[in-house]
Amino acid sequence: MSDETTTPQPQSAALANDTMINHALKNEPSLAAEELFTVEGHSEETQYASFWVGAWRRFRRNRLAMFGLVFATIIILIAIFVPMLTPYEYDQIDMPAALQPPSHEHILGTDELGRDLLTRILYGSRPMLMVGVLTGLAGLCIGVPIGVLAGYLGGFFDWIVTRLIDMFSALPWYLIVLYLVMVLSPSLQNLMLAMIITGWVGSCRMMRGLTFSIREQDYIEAARALGIPTWRIIAFHILPQAAPLLLWGFAAGIPTSVFAEAGLSFLGMGIRPPRPSWGQMLADSEFYWQFWPHMFIFPSMMITTSVLAFQGIADGLRKALDVSENI
């Protein structure tokens, strides 16, 4: 599919970190420029005006990634402007028109209560984006500071954070999310809360590992010897290096969250009716799918296309930013 996938991936974790840092160093802003020249790992790719311009050029060449970007843009616009796009309401019941196949009036047909399926599908983009994108951002806001502090400070704080990470990794995330949603009682807000509670772990683990290895570099020691305060070292020396990795980590979390929202709503543990979600619409077709297949086919298509689109963006970013997958 692309030339980047064929580059040999280093075997040991330490090696993986080394190459990752070298990649990260390429986009280090001029602040730490002096230290940078002593670090090996500069290649021909530095001929680009900047790392990000080069990354964008590589990203643009990836067709699946560009499809994902276009799809994501459209779906975000739909989620914002949906009340203007459709003459129906998502909870407008019209029993005489129940269970109609696609027609001129109802482009995608109607459900068992006569609600317009297209309207409900368009509204379904809202919980998808809220859980998919917003919880990921919130998870970053919690996970990154904790991870950086644990990696930088070490000691007891690091021990506690490691235990917490272990605890959250002891079960598949959907079991923990399901458990939390049950305790908090099912709703979209609580699903988002549960996703944030489990979602910070990934970025925290990533940042902890990265900070841990950067901390040992000579130029950090030099900065410390110069008396630069810890917060400045973290903000100007560690975080900029983590930016590509974090961007990819954020993008890679979206497909999982989209899946989570659809899956938990499908199990009846997500959004509450009458507000629609694609997963819930799929579950609603339980008694009708055999004779009114439009009721499950369109939500299925939306779930699959969204997951594929966001996965495409994540894969495209991984290749464009050249981050190693096994960190």
- The residues that touch another protein, with contacts defined as CB under 8 A, are 1, 3, 5-6, 8-9, 11-12, 64, 163, 166-167, 170-172, 174-175, 178-186, 255, 259, 262-263, 266-269, 282-283, 285, 289-290, 293, 296-297, 300, 303-304, 307-308, 311-312, 315, 325-326
Please state the closest distance from residue 23 (CB atom) to another protein, in A.
17
Please state the closest distance from residue 133 (CB atom) to another protein, in A.
17
Tabulate helix, strand, coil % of the chain (nearest 5): 75, 0, 25
- φ/ψ of 124, rounded to 5, equals -65, -15
Q: Which positions ≥6 away from 208 have C-beta within 8 Å?
A: 147, 148, 150, 151, 158, 161, 162, 165
Please state the closest distance from residue 3 (CB atom) to another protein, in A.
8
Nearer to another protein by Cβ, of 92 and 305: the residue is 305
Nearer to another protein by Cβ, of 6 and 38: the residue is 6
CA separation for the pair 5, 149 (Å, rounded): 33
Nearer to another protein by Cβ, of 36 and 308: the residue is 308
- φ/ψ of 110, rounded to 5, equals -130, 165
What would the two tokens of residue 10 be?
Answer: 């280093």
Nearer to another protein by Cβ, of 34 and 286: the residue is 286
Task: Please provide the DSSP assignment of 91-108 as one string.
Answer: T---GGGTTPPS-SSSTT
Please state the closest distance from residue 226 (CB atom) to another protein, in A.
31
Please state the closest distance from residue 177 (CB atom) to another protein, in A.
11
What would the two tokens of residue 307 be?
Answer: 């997951």
CA separation for the pair 93, 285 (Å, rounded): 16
Instruction: Taking each helix axis as running N to C, give the angle between helix 135-153 and helix 239-266, from 0 to 180 degrees, rounded to the nearest 10.
Output: 140
Please state the closest distance from residue 141 (CB atom) to another protein, in A.
22
Nearer to another protein by Cβ, of 182 and 222: the residue is 182
Q: If DSSP codes are grouped into helix, strand and coil, which group holds residue 116?
A: strand
CA separation for the pair 125, 59 (Å, rounded): 25
Nearer to another protein by Cβ, of 184 and 327: the residue is 184
What would the two tokens of residue 261 be?
Answer: 């929202």
Nearer to another protein by Cβ, of 25 and 178: the residue is 178
CA separation for the pair 312, 306 (Å, rounded): 10
